[in-house]
Amino acid sequence: MGRMRWLAVVGLLAGLLGAHAAQAQGQTTRVPAGRLAEAVAAAAPGDTIEVTGGVYHGNLVIDRSLTLVGLDGATLDGDGAGTVLRLEAPDTTVRGLIVQNSGDSLDREDSGIIAAAPRALVEDNQLINVLFGIYINAAPGSTVRGNTIEGQDLDIARRGDLIRLWDSDDVLIENNVTRRGRDAVLWYSERMTLRGNDFSHGRYGLHFMYCDDAIIEGNRLTNNSVGAYLMYGRRLTLRDNLIAFNRGPSGYGIGLKDMDDVTITGNRFLDNRVGVYNDGSPRELNSTGILRGNLFAYNDIAIEMLPSVRHNLISDNSFVENEQQVVVAGGGQLRDNEWTVGDRGNYWSDYAGYDVDGDGQGELAYRSQRLLDDLLGRRPELRLFIYSPVVSAVDFAARAFPLVRPQPILVDEAPLTQPVLPTAAPLPETGGEGQMWPLLLLPLTLVALFGLARVGRRNYRLPTIKRELSAD
């Protein structure tokens, strides 16, 4: 009898647990788009609503933990007013919807989707004609994956951020595509991962402030004014990214401002105005910056650093046919940065030394001490003459008269004689649009003639390096 009573109790508990699990999983309801608001109001937490093809007009708020799935082109249309979809409950999922036509107020932060509760999942949606795209606002543990986001046709200063992260730790942003926004902004958040995204045709592809312990890997940052600007953070890893054709007024591929313990490895910096710009990183005396195994090719300037920058370890990088390999902003020398780490230096395409024993390292140190580089560091406006015969004349004078030769900017004691090429980041299929337009403003001058000849060489050589140096 005791055994039978025990089995009955076990069976009752199993039934209760099964019922609880079924309730937690919720019910699935399929509705046309026009009845979406009614379905949300009638749903219980944990339910799934499948929205069939059609258009839902107006602004929608999800105030309970639901899964919203779009089928057959289901569309949420904000009709040009406010935020189209707002998620105010934790553990909410939005998948497979077309979200379009938000308002255009920067003050109200009109968005395609705002997630304002923990653990939101926003994936595989298409956002069209939105001011701000996906806004993760105080929503830790959220995931933004596989979305395509296109901004509004506005002047770039009036656009919104197509991905914005605010005060949200442990967030994954993965495999999204943004076009024609202002920035992708990440502020005051920790332990985030950005992987496999494509940020292009914006102001800053990525704008990063006051964020610690972040990983930025396998992204494409192309055709922006600035690829990424990283500010006031700690313990950042930037690896295996493609950073190319960023040529706005500053034109940094990557800008660093007061960043501590940053590791930059395996990236490709192609045809930017400046590959890496370093303003005060690392900031703390006990911090170190690592720049290793990157390719810098066909940039105007590969690396530009302020003379106060210290404590960077720079090795196993390949500097290939940059107009200037390294520049000190304002002139002078770089101190307390290591260009040879563990008997490994960098590859410099303008290295004039030799490798007698065939060990892949030059017997003579590489010294960056062009008089022209020193002049351009002090007076950047002289770049106007970068393609003119004046450049050759200045270099000849420095070689012929050692008294006018400046002190070297840097010394690499163990330069490599073969490039070290990263393989993870994909190369672009086409070059950037309108990269060299400033040269075209001088068609009637001798400088322009030499500049146009140089443009032709760059446009020819860049596809060549894609074929010869890519392992993809």
- Tell me the C-alpha distance between 108 and 83, whole Å: 9
* CA distances in angstroms from 89 to 29, 44, 220, listed in the order given: 19, 12, 32
Instruction: Give the max Cα distance, the chain.
Output: 109
Whether the bond into 438 is cis, omega within 30 of 0: no
Domain-located, residue 379: no
What was the pLDDT predicted at 304? Answer: 96
Claim to verify: residue 118 and residue 202 sit in the same structural domain: no
Tell me the sheet residues that pair with 222.
200, 244
Residue 394 belongs to a domain: no
Q: Which of 227-241, 253-267, 419-433 has the lowest mean pLDDT?
A: 419-433
Average pLDDT over residues 117-130: 98
DSSP class of residue 70?
Answer: E
DSSP state for residue 39 in the 8-state scheme? H
Instruction: Give the pLDDT confidence score for residue 10 in this predicted structure.
Output: 42
Give the model's pLDDT for residue 405: 58
Which range has the worst mean pLDDT, 134-143, 194-203, 419-428?
A: 419-428
Q: Average pLDDT of 159-178?
A: 98
Cross-strand pairs, 313: 290, 338
Radius of gyration of the chain (CA): 27
Average pLDDT over residues 129-140: 98
Q: Are residues 283 and 416 in the same domain?
A: yes
- The pLDDT assigned to 91 comes to 98
Place 374 in a pLDDT band, splitting at 50, 70 and 90: low
As a whole number of angstroms, the distance between CA 84 and CA 103 comes to 8
Which residues touch 363 (CB under 8 Å, ≥6 apart)?
353, 354, 355, 356, 357
Look at residue 415 and tell me if it is in a domain. yes
Same-domain pairing of 336 and 208: yes
Is pLDDT at 22 greater than 50 in this prediction?
no
Summarize the confidence of residues 271-292 as an average pLDDT. Answer: 96
Q: Starting at the edge strand that comes first in sequence, how are the strands of the sheet with 301-305 ordered?
A: 60-62, 85-87, 111-115, 132-137, 163-166, 183-187, 204-209, 226-231, 252-257, 274-279, 301-305, 324-328
pLDDT, mean of residues 103-129: 98
* pLDDT tens digits, one per residue of 291-300: 999 999 999 9
Q: In whole angstroms, give the CA distance from residue 86 to residue 191.
A: 24
- Pairing relationship of beta strands 212-217 and 193-195 according to DSSP bridges: parallel
Of 48, 372, 383, 427, residue with least CA distance to 242: 427
Query: Can you list the positions of beta strands (E) in 2-47?
Result: 28-32
228-267 as b/e, with b when 16 or more CB fall inside 10 Å?
Answer: bbbbbbbbbbbbbbbbbbbbbeebbbbbbbebbbbbbbbb
- The torsion angles phi and psi of 64, rounded to 5 degrees, stand at -145, 160
Mean pLDDT along residues 275-300: 96
CA distance 428 to 40: 43
Q: Do 239 and 362 fall into the same domain? A: yes
Q: CA-to-CA distance for 243 and 296, rounded, in angstroms?
A: 10
pLDDT of residue 187 exceeding 50, the answer is yes
Q: What is the mean pLDDT of residues 145-158?
A: 95
User: Do 138 and 244 have their domain in common?
Assistant: no
My answer on whether 29 and 138 are in the same domain is: yes
Q: Which residues contact 85 (CB under 8 A, 6 or more apart)?
A: 59, 60, 61, 62, 76, 94, 97, 99, 112, 113, 114
Range of the domain at 443: 439-466
> Are residue 216 and residue 297 in the same domain, yes or no?
yes
Q: Dump strand ranges (E) for 20-131.
A: 28-32, 48-52, 55-57, 60-62, 67-70, 75-77, 85-87, 93-95, 98-100, 111-115, 121-123, 126-130
| Residue 166 falls inside a structural domain | no
Q: What is the pLDDT of residue 305?
A: 96
Residue 18: pLDDT band by 50, 70, 90 thresholds? very low
Instruction: Taking residues 121-128, report their average pLDDT.
Output: 98
pLDDT of residue 19: 38
Residues 85, 70, single domain; the answer is yes
pLDDT computed for residue 33 by the predictor: 94
Q: What is the mean pLDDT of residues 102-112?
A: 97
146 and 250 both lie in a single domain? no
Question: Which of 155, 181, 215 lies at the terminal end of a domain, its last residue?
Answer: 155
**412-431 residue pLDDT tens:** 999 999 998 887 555 555 44
- Which band of pLDDT confidence, cut at 50, 70 and 90, is reported for residue 400? low
Q: Is residue 176 part of a domain?
A: no
The whole-angstrom separation of Cα 261 and Cα 210 is 14
Residues 208 and 263 reside in one and the same domain: yes
Please give the pLDDT value at position 423: 73
CATH of the domain at 131: 2.160.20.10
> Where is 64: in which H helix or E strand?
none
> Are 289 and 265 in the same domain?
yes
For the stretch 312-369, pLDDT in tens is: 999 999 999 999 999 998 877 889 999 999 999 999 999 989 999 999 999 999 998 6
What percent of the chain stands above pLDDT 70? Answer: 76
Of residues 409 and 76, more confidently modeled: 76
The answer to whether position 178 is within a domain reads: no
Which residues have a Cβ under 8 Å from the Cβ of 388 and sit 6 or more positions away?
Answer: 446, 447, 450
Quick one: average pLDDT of 250-259? 96
Q: What is the pLDDT of residue 385?
A: 58
User: Closest Cα to residue 233, out of 253, 214, 217?
Assistant: 214
Which of 204, 114, 206, 128 minimizes the C-alpha distance to 168? 114
The answer as to whether 71 is a domain residue is: yes
Residue 164 lies in a domain: no
Residue 17 confidence (pLDDT) above 50: no
Which tokens in the block code for residue 265? 């490895």
Average pLDDT of every residue of the chain: 85
58: left (phi over 0), alpha (psi -120 to 50) or beta: left
pTM for the model? 0.82
Which pLDDT does position 52 carry in this prediction?
96
Residue identified by tokens 């004014």 is: 225
Q: Are strands 148-151 and 75-77 parallel, antiparallel or unpaired?
A: unpaired
262 and 304 housed in the same domain: yes
Number of domains in the chain: 3
